[in-house]
Amino acid sequence: MFGTIIISIVTLMHVYVFWRAVSVPFIISHIPKKIIIGAGLILWILFYLGRVYRYGHHGEEPLAKILEFIGMNWMGGLFLIFICLLAMDLITGFGLFLPRLASKLRAFAIFIGIGLSVIALIQGLRPPVVENYDVYLSELPNEMDNTVIIAISDLHLGFLLGPRWLQARIAQVKKQKPDLVVLLGDIFEGHGECGDELLNVMNRLSAPLGVWAVYGNHEFHRRQNQSEALINKAKFKVLRNCWTELGSGLILAGVDDLTTIQRRTGQVSHYISKTLAGRPPGATILLSHTPWETEKAAKAGVGLMLCGHTHGGQIWPFDYLIKLRYPLLEGRYEVNGMTVIVTRGTGTWGPRMRLWSPGEILRVTLHREKNSRMFEWRHY
């Protein structure tokens, strides 16, 4: 159903963009109308084949990867061109206002959309940055002061992001010398099989306090037994609506993806309470793929909540739409005395594109004493 919706939306954007493109005198004076329409048809076919060929269990074939890369990035570029064209058409009333300038403004919008697409592709292919946060927890044991947590989320491994890309990310993580590594869901893309090479690279991830993970929505795209088998091969520990004590006075809890729980049960509130029930006194860190139920977590005594899922919108201005459903879109928030950090994600979903929201790895340093109300973050 989701795939059908995506194909339908992309088809409508195709029709609109190429309909407006052939109405621009400057464009059709340089490129024949038949070539423009033919190019639009070919690009749509490539997008469609990328979806069908991939989900037809050909995900490991080179042709499938090429089609997916072209199709997904064209979808991202088409979206940006569509947004620029639509904005210009609304400003000019689809040519009713400023009729002499409307076609030139339309051409300008197309070129702006193409330019933004190039920028987004370059930014999406660049390595994620490391964002540094200091978090103060009053119940943190003295011996845990200055504990370094590395959080990575939304890797979407297995198709376009493979072993080579993952190896570079693990090198970034090791450079930070973490005491604890947490994976905030959507570790694997969720379609097709992940090869042994990818799993062998993943198993190089280590930290003194362990590598812990929670399920994201993509972990539920497979049948549950397939997901569990894949996670078990990767050798990190998964927190599924439960907690563990990393050391005396430091509790790490994790909850399954809340959007999946909501879709299956219609409610999510009691899962936070269930996850945190029975834990001993001390500083509590909650891992949740989706940044929901933050007030419930704060009320339960959580000191730090780490989330992902939103990708920070990934491609502007899509973030404005995402924020309607996920008000905590990216960055640091304070919720009733609890710190919430929402990462933009380390990988990408769909297009290998990011516009104004680079991928990131979180480096969180825990402190017992809160010496200042000032919180800092910086790029590495």
pLDDT score for 164: 92
Which pLDDT belongs to residue 147?
Answer: 97
CATH number, domain 129-367: 3.60.21.10
Of 230, 188, 183, which Cα lies nearest the Cα of 207?
183
Give the Cα separation of 28 and 7 in Å (integer).
27
Q: Which of 330, 355, 335, 323 is nearest to 345 (CA)?
A: 330
Residue 231, C-beta contacts closer than 8 angstroms, at least 6 positions apart:
187, 213, 219, 238
Q: Say how far apart CA 204 and CA 362 lie, in whole Å.
A: 19
- Region at 159 (left for phi over 0; alpha for psi -120 to 50; beta for the rest): alpha
Structure tokens at 232: 């078990």
Return the pLDDT at 279.
Answer: 94
Q: Which of 201, 165, 189, 159 is nearest to 62 (CA)?
A: 159
* pLDDT score of 374: 43
The DSSP bridge partners found for residue 340 are 305, 333
CATH 3.60.21.10 in the chain is located at 129-367
Please, are residues 349 and 154 in contact by the beta-carbon 8 Å criterion?
yes
For position 376, what pLDDT does the model report? 47
Say how far residue 129 (Cα) sits from the centre of its chain: 14
Please give the model's pTM, rounded to 2 decimal places: 0.90
What is the sign, positive or negative, of the torsion defined by CA atoms of 70, 76, 80, 81? positive
Segments of the chain with pLDDT less than 50: 57-58, 371-380
> Using CA atoms, how far apart are residues 154 and 253, in angstroms rounded to an integer?
19
State how far the Cα of 214 lies from the Cα of 183, in Å rounded to an integer.
Answer: 7
Question: Strand (E) positions, 198-266?
Answer: 211-213, 237-238, 242-247, 250-255
Q: What is the pLDDT of residue 55?
A: 58
